[in-house]
Structure 1
């Protein structure tokens, strides 16, 4: 299912399945299309196949059944085909220490562009751009082993951003970050989205998904469901099947509608801050039902 039916998918899994050696199927019959400029939260319980799905989308794994398509064409899993895919789609794994390997931040971020055979000036421009996008310009010469956990997260993402992907895939990017670190990361991801990058984030945090994403993709024993994030995260049956709790914002909106304070078609507040702002506006100008 294409999450944005009005726009063609940049990358798309079609009826895809995968099983690890000597194990049962992790995914079966999965369809997921990612349209340009959309943000998608991938949710599901531990062991539901989120990381496997991300690796299928980025070419790290090859579907046992079905296809991965790039711009509507099946991906070829040879060197040329995977290079073409990885100039469009980049995956950042959950643990930055699994991704960072160079002595300094600049060296690590420059590795991908250099492997594309780009000229020195182009590599330098991409590194500058990625460091600025992730707000870590001051860390350019810092040894990677001296970075804080949050700085290592942003440096790992910068390495992917330097490839100028149209689709950036993040596996639990806020895991291990304190609230301030999470907000800083969300700010820089917002800047990437504003520039037209499609961002996919696997997360267990339903509140984060509701406030951040345009769309959701929810893995449960019944398969993969996709659609607008507010719609899917209000489906209690789906949440129960996926072992996810109801988001705070969904519950608040339900209470407000039950008391006639929010119209059926109005979006409810997604955070305590939005609720406070909404309450202040309502007290001045009425609830606006």
Structure 2
């Protein structure tokens, strides 16, 4: 995946990668997946399609069975030096925050990664503060992790990854289990991270979220992985059928408006109900 605004060399890249769990069939085979600097990428596919496996391969949590994993164009080695280099660049946040949080308080948990890097105490405090501010949970620094709400635990887990100052933040179903308000707060936090220069990859099966949030999409189907601009891929009915994904709400609405001549072919499509409301207000529908 590339963009005119990004460098030619991806930050992290899988080339012809394959993986199979012990005594099981191949989960992924011949996968090419490049994460370019400064992008927001949605990884989509049905449950069991291999999204989590792909994320763990990218972050070094799993070792690919075939192919290559590249960081800034150089092959990643799986020794201590190579994995440290990878994990200070790429951080994974798992789906269940309870699998990631383990310290007594939020501040202690967020500080764990920077402390493990052997950073000076002042630098650790700075990183913790920056991460808590980015996720809007400064007030929770001294809160015991077991007293947090689910949404707070989600943001605390992300803050722990952010404190490592990764260039690429990878998240597995980060909005799963959140109510609408919780989702909006999380998306606001991700917008702040992107504004600060963090590249974000999000695995999700929520096509409406992907269309609204991402620049690019990567869709896993039985035919393999296909990547490209999010609106283009999520407007491909054959691809969505193969991946067992439904049509995004925004794409269906835009098709209807264009079919009735109400939306110009080159006009941006409304991707959310709020954008549709704004479009109606700016160009009211004709009434008889």
TM-score, normalised relative to structure 2: 0.97
Distance in 1 between the 2:137 and 2:89 partners? 23
Distance in 2 between the 1:254 and 1:267 partners? 12
1:10-43, Cα deviation, whole Å (9 max, x unpaired):
0000010000000000000100111111000000
Tell me, which stretches of 5 or more residues in structure 2 are unaligned?
A: none
1:198 is matched with: 199
Aligned to 1:209, the other structure's residue is in SS state helix
Distance in 2 between the 1:153 and 1:110 partners? 16
Aligned to 1:283, the other structure's residue is in SS state coil
8 Å contact kept, 1:3–1:215: no
Aligned to 1:269, the other structure's residue is in SS state coil
8 Å contact kept, 1:3–1:226: no
1:42 is matched with: 43
RMSD: 1.1
Tell me, which stretches of 5 or more residues in structure 1 are unaligned?
A: none
Distance in 1 between the 2:30 and 2:262 partners? 42
Distance in 2 between the 1:186 and 1:272 partners? 16
1:168-227, Cα deviation, whole Å (9 max, x unpaired):
000000000000000000000011011111000001100000000000000000000000
8 Å contact kept, 1:4–1:34: no
- The reply to whether residue 11 of structure 1 matches residue 33 of structure 2 is no
Distance in 2 between the 1:263 and 1:226 partners? 26
Distance in 2 between the 1:104 and 1:273 partners? 38
Distance in 2 between the 1:260 and 1:68 partners? 47
Residue 262 of structure 1 deviates from its aligned partner by: 1.5
8 Å contact kept, 1:109–1:162: yes
8 Å contact kept, 1:220–1:241: yes
- The runs of 4+ residues in structure 1 deviating greater than 6 Å are none
Distance in 2 between the 1:100 and 1:209 partners? 26
- The reply to whether residue 33 of structure 1 matches residue 34 of structure 2 is yes
Residue 283 of structure 1 deviates from its aligned partner by: 2.7
The worse-fitting range, judged by mean Cα deviation, of 261-270 and 58-67 is 261-270
Distance in 2 between the 1:191 and 1:259 partners? 38
